[in-house]
């Protein structure tokens, strides 16, 4: 997997600078980022309430539809991109709550911080690689969310173990991600960066979460995404698990 992480950073750096769209291969015609977000479950009215530049159309589901955020909660969003789910979460947890977005791509962080300017005192963006160390203290978060990011990591087990570390006891992880019916025979770095070739099977994904020590691991939603030319069926799932 040499060089994959640098390629992921390069790709999402270009996406942040609007030099490349986030459409998956074969998905031409996905429309504006707002339309792409609505197609994966975001509410059009709620999208109007966040900075429009935070909407990249880069997710693969809408984890906040399942996270049941409450006023005052602390939320951490892994691979926060330009901040869409951070800002939506901030609107839900209110001034007594707080939301921390984590991303490893400098251009994304700069874009997200710019989007937060002026309006979001309870929001913070931090630089971090979630499969090395999430820059958040032990037992801090009530909720960890993530949208289409874990598949981009090489060491998913390490990422899940880091999520568990930063959650409070009883805290929940609610994430959208891509899965496949069988792994790629050989990895194409471009397809890894497009959230395809790094995808695990659903069984391996769930097993990896359980191995990290989570309880009540539940797949809440599953949608077919695309069929690859080699016959692999790629789907998006929303998974919830509890520490
Ligand atoms: C497909 S985009 C999703 C962005 C955002 N969640 C959304 O829905 O718009 C993936 C994001 O995850 C970030 N990312 C990928 N791997 C990461 C890692 N190991 N640690 C932190 N961020 C990562 C990328 O920089 C990029 O911003």
Q: What is the CA radius of gyration of the chain?
A: 16
What is the C-alpha separation between 7 and 93, in angstroms, rounded? 34
More confident residue, 65 or 188: 65
- Cβ atoms of 178 and 195 within 8 Å: the answer is yes
- Cβ atoms of 52 and 74 within 8 Å: the answer is no
Per-residue pLDDT of 100-123, as tens digits, reads 999 999 999 999 999 999 889 999
Q: Which of 1, 3, 12, 36 to mutate to test the pocket of ligand 1 (most atoms within 8 A of CB)?
A: 12
Query: Has residue 27 got a pLDDT over 60?
Result: no
Average pLDDT, the chain: 94
The ligand 1 atom at the shortest distance from the C-alpha of residue 105 is 25
- Cβ atoms of 116 and 83 within 8 Å: the answer is yes
CATH for the stretch 4-242:
3.40.50.150
- 145 alpha carbon, distance to own chain's centre: 7
């Amino acid at each position: 997997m040499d060089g994959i992480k640098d390629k992921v950073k390069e790709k999402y750096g270009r996406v942040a600078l609007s030099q490349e769209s986030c459409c998956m291969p074969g998905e031409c015609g996905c429309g504006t980022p707002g339309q792409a977000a609505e197609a994966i479950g975001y509410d059009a009215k709620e999208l109007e309430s966040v900075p429009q530049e935070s909407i990249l159309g880069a997710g693969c589901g809408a984890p906040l539809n399942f996270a049941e955020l409450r006023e005052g909660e602390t939320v951490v969003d892994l691979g926060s991109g330009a901040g869409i789910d951070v800002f939506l979460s901030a609107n839900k947890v209110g001034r007594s709550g707080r939301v921390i977005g984590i991303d490893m791509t400098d251009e994304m962080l700069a874009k997200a911080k710019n989007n937060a300017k002026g309006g979001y005192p309870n929001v913070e963006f931090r630089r971090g690689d979630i499969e090395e160390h999430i820059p958040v203290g032990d037992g801090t978060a009530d909720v960890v969310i993530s949208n289409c990011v874990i598949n981009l990591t090489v060491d998913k087990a390490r990422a899940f173990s880091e999520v568990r570390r930063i959650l409070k006891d009883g805290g929940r992880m609610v994430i959208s991600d891509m899965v496949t019916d069988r792994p790629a025979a050989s990895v194409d770095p471009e397809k890894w960066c497009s959230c395809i070739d790094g995808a695990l099977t659903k069984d391996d994904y769930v097993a990896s979460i359980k191995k990290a020590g989570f309880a009540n691991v539940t797949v809440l939603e599953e949608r077919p995404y695309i069929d690859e030319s080699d016959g692999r069926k790629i789907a998006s799932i929303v998974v919830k698990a509890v520490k």
